[in-house]
């Protein structure tokens, strides 16, 4: 059946009908009072989502734009930074940092394993001359389904006294609890096509007081991503450049939906779907790629045995119109990734687990009696209502 595709990937994520309807409205002037009212409302909603009193700025661009903005607005050429790398996006921030001439010390982690906070602690405590200016890391490593311990690492950074934390929370914001002020995180970057439940095109940079202090010394080149311009205009409920107006309509609608559901309920829902998905995989005898207690609430990575993961993805797409994500780089063909981020409900989880179990059964690759995977999933969903 055409036009029935179900996105079960870490982004773009499914978009609610109400949000799509809001996007279909005719654009309005981005300097009009009507649009300024939307900017004002969404700015306050964004602070609510980030659990902060600090500035949250909206950029027309992807999550990568937000992370790059966080880096170039707080650092200077030659600054020493620690960059966590245990997946594709950790690698990206190393590349971005080096592209701007930063002195990068990479803290490497195995793909599928979390970064070790004590590695950051050791280097930060040894830095008695306070040469380290920032710690840059990914919270939810989308490529592997691992959730890094941002809370502990940011605590060590704060204890350092000089360095700031720049966190990629693109697939964790709106999926798990990230109290920016409570944890002392200085910069948080995120993107619209994830937990925000709207199409790609907007990104968000939350800047704390220590980040703005670092900004006063930053000399890296910036123009479109100069956050001083965004701060000046957001204080007047505006934007320095032409924004994606219809995505603002969507943002207002999606954030209002999130406020109605409530932060704690949002977090509980994502955790519940994560546990149910993991249970289904174990019920089918499918190994999880990431350690179970370090898995991301946004995505579950699975490493099937004796079968190319791309064949599984293709079969589920062809037979069930369900799109799963594949492995990246050396993991291509070795893992597939099930997204349970944003506008996902119990039916979606049951559908993807059932489709996967049926697919493996038809291939003769199911490691357990048919029905055990879906039964385990339903048991979790029923138990944790």
Q: Report the predicted TM-score, pTM, of the whole model to 2 decimal places.
A: 0.97
Omega of the bond leading into 207 within 30 degrees of 0 (cis): no
Indicate the residue among 226, 260, 294 that finishes a domain.
260
* Domain boundary pick from 225, 242, 260: 260
**What per-residue confidence (pLDDT) applies to 292?**
80
| 342-346 average pLDDT score | 97
* Residue 1 domain flag: no
Report how far apart the first and last C-alpha atoms of the chain are (Å, whole number).
32
Biggest CA pair distance of the chain: 64
Indicate if 377 and 235 belong to the same structural domain. no
Residue-wise pLDDT for 119-152, tens only, equals 999 999 999 999 999 999 999 999 999 999 999 9
Instruction: Output the six-digit token pair for 31.
Output: 């300097």
pLDDT tens-digit series, residues 11-63: 999 999 999 999 999 999 999 999 999 999 999 999 999 999 999 999 999 99
Domain of 319 in residue numbering reads as: 263-383
Q: What CATH number should be reported for the domain holding residue 68?
A: 3.40.640.10
Give the CA distances from residue 281 to residues 156, 326, 372, in Å, rounded to whole numbers and listed in that order.
35, 16, 9
Under a CB-based contact definition with an 8 Å cutoff, are residues 378 and 277 in contact?
no
In a domain, 157, yes or no: yes
pLDDT exceeds 70 at position 2:
no
Q: Is the pLDDT of residue 266 over 90?
A: yes
Residues 175 and 230 in one domain: yes
Contact indicator for 24, 17 with CB cutoff of 8 Å: no
Q: Are 320 and 7 in contact (CB under 8 A)?
A: no
The answer to whether position 6 is within a domain reads no
Q: What per-residue confidence (pLDDT) applies to 200?
A: 98
Whether 145 is covered by a domain: the verdict is yes
CATH code, domain carrying 362: 3.90.1150.10
Residues 225 and 303 in one domain: no
Write down the H helix ranges in the chain.
17-23, 33-50, 63-72, 88-99, 117-126, 150-160, 180-183, 209-215, 227-234, 245-261, 263-283, 309-320, 346-363, 372-383
What is the rounded CA–CA span in Å between residue 212 and residue 200?
27
- DSSP-assigned letter for residue 296: B
Residues in the chain: 385
Residue 2 lies in a domain: no
């Amino acid at each position: 059946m055409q036009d029935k595709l179900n996105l079960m990937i870490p982004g773009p994520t499914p978009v609610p009908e109400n949000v799509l309807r809001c996007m279909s409205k005719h654009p309005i002037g981005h300097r009009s009072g009507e649009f300024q009212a939307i900017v004002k409302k969404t700015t306050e909603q964004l602070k609510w989502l980030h659990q902060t009193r600090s500035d949250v700025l909206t950029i027309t661009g992807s999550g990568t734009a937000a992370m790059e903005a966080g880096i170039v607005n707080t650092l200077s050429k030659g600054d020493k930074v620690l960059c966590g790398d245990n997946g594709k996006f950790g690698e990206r921030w190393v590349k971005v940092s080096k592209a701007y001439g930063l002195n990068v010390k990479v803290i490497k982690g195995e793909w599928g394993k979390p970064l070790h906070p004590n590695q950051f602690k050791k280097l930060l405590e040894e830095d008695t001359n306070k040469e380290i200016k920032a710690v840059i890391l990914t919270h939810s490593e989308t490529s592997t389904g691992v959730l890094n311990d941002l809370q502990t690492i940011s605590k060590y950074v704060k204890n350092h006294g000089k360095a700031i934390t720049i966190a990629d929370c693109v697939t964790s914001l709106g999926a798990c609890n990230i109290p920016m002020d409570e944890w002392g995180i200085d910069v948080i970057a995120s993107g619209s096509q994830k937990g925000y439940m709207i199409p790609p095109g907007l990104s968000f940079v939350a800047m704390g007081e220590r980040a703005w202090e670092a900004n006063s010394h930053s000399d890296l080149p910036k123009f479109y991503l100069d956050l001083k311009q965004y701060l000046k205009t957001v204080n007047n409920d505006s934007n320095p450049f032409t924004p994606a107006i219809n995505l603002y309509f969507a943002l207002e609608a999606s954030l209002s939906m999130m406020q109605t559901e409530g932060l704690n309920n949002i977090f509980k829902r994502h955790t519940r779907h994560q546990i149910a998905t993991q249970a289904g995989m174990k019920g089918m005898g499918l190994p999880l790629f990431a350690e179970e207690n370090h898995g991301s609430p946004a995505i579950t990575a699975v490493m099937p045995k004796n079968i190319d993961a791309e064949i599984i993805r293709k079969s589920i797409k062809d037979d069930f119109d369900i799109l799963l994500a594949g492995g990246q780089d050396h993991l291509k063909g070795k893992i597939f990734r099930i997204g349970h981020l944003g506008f996902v409900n119990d039916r979606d989880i049951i559908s993807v687990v059932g489709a996967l179990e049926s697919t493996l059964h038809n291939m003769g690759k199911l490691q357990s009696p048919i029905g055990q995977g879906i039964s385990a999933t339903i048991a979790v969903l029923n138990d944790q209502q």
